Amino acid sequence: MTIPTHDPRDGSSQDTDITPTPQADVRAAAARADAVFRQLRDVSRADRATALRTIADALEADRADLVICAMAETGLSEQRLTGEVNRSAFQFRMFADAIEEGSYLEVMIDHAGDTPLGPAPDVRRMLVPLGPVAVFGSSNFPFAFSVAGGDTASALAAGNPVIVKAHSSHILTSRATFDVIHRAIVDSGLPADTFQIVYGQQAGVDLVQDPAITAVGYTGSLGAAQILISAIGERETPIPFYGELSSVNPLIVTEAAARARGAQIAQGLYASVTGSAGQLCTKPGVAFVPRTDDVIVPELVRLAAAAEPQPLLNAKIHESLFRIQGDLIASGGASALRASEPVGPGLGATPGILEIDASTFTAAAAEEAFGPVVVVVRYDTLDQLPAALDAVPDSLTATVHCEVDEAAGLADLVTDLQRRSGRVVFNGYPTGVRVCWAQHHGGPWPATNSQHTSVGVTAMRRFLRPIAWQSAPAVLLPAELRDDDASVPRRVDGVYQPAKN
């Protein structure tokens, strides 16, 4: 049995030569990863950084072929996919810079000596890699959150071998990307088994249950995550599961902002809702708009009516979108100002604009509709928002459009949004997550199941653990913990010391 590939643009399917990975082969891959982990401990930070930059160069060199392959499996545009390969390359280079800079290690040294509590031993602490990491990519980002994604980049940067489970929605793209990265790893001098791949749903379950795997990075549906979490629960030794799962991402427009720039907000909101056919984890799925507005909502409807359909990623997403839209109307009480409609011959969908009153808004109208659909919630006063927001699941992001002179009066609302999300956006849109040192891409459950980020330098923290050495001979310490090393920032006897390299 082979795994087929599907083109969502016309609904066609064709066989591939890729077969599901048998359990025995999954176990063998995990054993190889465990063995290579011991070798990676001796790889310097400089050599690891070189490997990541070699991967970035290789992705850019093969960008055109990778994009063509992904277009046929996702229906996403050439421009979007080209930008995504660029983002993946940028991520690898950013992590290379972070490895060389070294603060991610959190090096701390407390020398032996007298203290207010009496004589104390020498204690030194830093972060070290966990071990083999399993990575599950998402359907909606065939590069930046898949085989070449941030989970892969951050786990490799932290010094761990990676086994990636290919996504069935872009199976050929997964293999092609793996081949590019694997060649780059070998060319850079790292062991070949530093990076491996498996195929098939059962292989994913087998992978997370293998005792050699020490952590899982996952981006995808809540349902699939729960299957993997359940499988992990059957292990003798538990491991962390870092999942990005489901997010509605509420967006709030104040009355002053609607009056001042309603048309501009409508156009930006529409672009954020419909970009990549609305299949972005940070898409605003619920927009709170004042009842007095007579610009934003009509403009959203006008734009939706004029739009061409866009293909969705796969049949499951296509079916789910229209089922959920139906539930939002039938059970949630929303009305369709312009319903999303399926368009053949492929998996096309038009944008949908739904509307509901804040006084009748419940959790039944706040389910994530993964696709180009937004629920507009009409409110009378800001005092209505806390109760209405209680119906919205905690999210990756929350957005506020307001005017400068009213910002101070929104402190309580913003404090509330901070409790409900991992990133608060002002006068912008949550889609287009910047890859940078300060970024946090995560949030309270069900957005994620941890307090870590999957984007930005601190994504490495998921795949590291602290170790303290007490009264250790210098020859047995990692180089960064020795007194004569100044290659990384450190805190020595409580005093911060910058690197001197």
Give the tokens for residue 466.
């602290």
Q: How far apart are CA 345 and CA 152, in angstroms?
A: 35
**CA dist list (Å): 18 to 54, 168, 176, 321, 431:** 27, 10, 12, 29, 33
Phi, psi of 308 (to 5 degrees): -85, 150
Type of residue found at 402:
C
Total length of the chain? 501
Q: Which helix (H) or strand (E) holds 229?
A: helix 222-233
Type of residue found at 83:
G
Residues 433/439, Cβ–Cβ less than 8 Å: yes
CB atoms within 10 A of CB 192: 12
Instruction: Name which of 387, 411, 420 is nearest 250 in CA terms.
Output: 420
Residue with tokens 């739009």: 307
Q: How far apart are CA 373 and CA 324, in angstroms?
A: 10
Q: How far apart are CA 229 and CA 166, in angstroms?
A: 18
- Specify the pairing of strand 495-497 against strand 490-492: antiparallel
- Specify the pairing of strand 162-165 against strand 133-136: parallel
Residues 355/378, Cβ–Cβ less than 8 Å: yes
Of 244, 355, 367, 480, which is the active-site residue?
244
| Annotation says 299 is catalytic | no
Q: How far apart are CA 367 and CA 247, in angstroms?
A: 9
Q: How far apart are CA 1 and CA 18, in angstroms?
A: 9
Type of residue found at 452:
H
Cα end-to-end span (Å), the chain:
55
Type of residue found at 41:
R
Q: Which residues pair with 382 in a beta bridge?
A: none
Of 84, 255, 281, 299, which is the active-site residue?
281
Q: How far apart are CA 197 and CA 179, in angstroms?
A: 10
Q: For the chain, what is the radius of gyration of the CA atoms?
A: 24
| Annotation says 281 is catalytic | yes
Whether omega before 345 lies within 30 degrees of 0, making that bond cis, reads yes
Q: Would you name the residues annotated as active-site residues?
A: 244, 281
